Amino acid sequence: MDWMTWYNSLAKPSWTPSPATIGLIWTILYPLIVISFGFVFVMAFRGKVGWIIAVPFAINLVANILFMPFFSGMRNVPLSAVDIVIVWGTIIWCVVAIWPHYRWVAFAQVPYFVWVSIATVLQLSITAMNWGQS
Residue 117 pLDDT > 60, yes or no?
yes
Q: Say if residue 2's pLDDT is above 80.
A: yes
Look at residue 7 and tell me if it is in a domain.
no
Q: Which of 16-20, 43-47, 109-113, 129-133 is predicted with the least confidence, judged by mean pLDDT?
A: 129-133
CA 133 → CA 3, 21, 45, 81, 87, distances in Å? Answer: 15, 26, 45, 14, 24
How far apart (Å, rounded) are the C-alpha atoms in residues 59 and 116?
15
Instruction: Identify the domain containing residue 27 by its residue range.
Output: 19-129
| Contact between 32 and 108 (Cβ < 8 Å) | yes
In this structure, is residue 2 part of a structural domain? no
Domain contains 36: yes
Contact 130, 78 (CB under 8 A): no
Reported confidence tier of residue 22, pLDDT bands at 50, 70, 90: very high
Per-residue pLDDT tens over the stretch 31-74:
999 999 999 999 999 999 999 999 999 999 999 999 999 999 99
Looking at the structure of the chain, the number of domains it has is: 1
pLDDT of residue 133: 72
Domain membership flag for residue 69:
yes
Quote the pLDDT of residue 129: 97
The secondary structure of the chain in percent helix, strand, coil, rounded to multiples of 5, reads 80, 0, 20
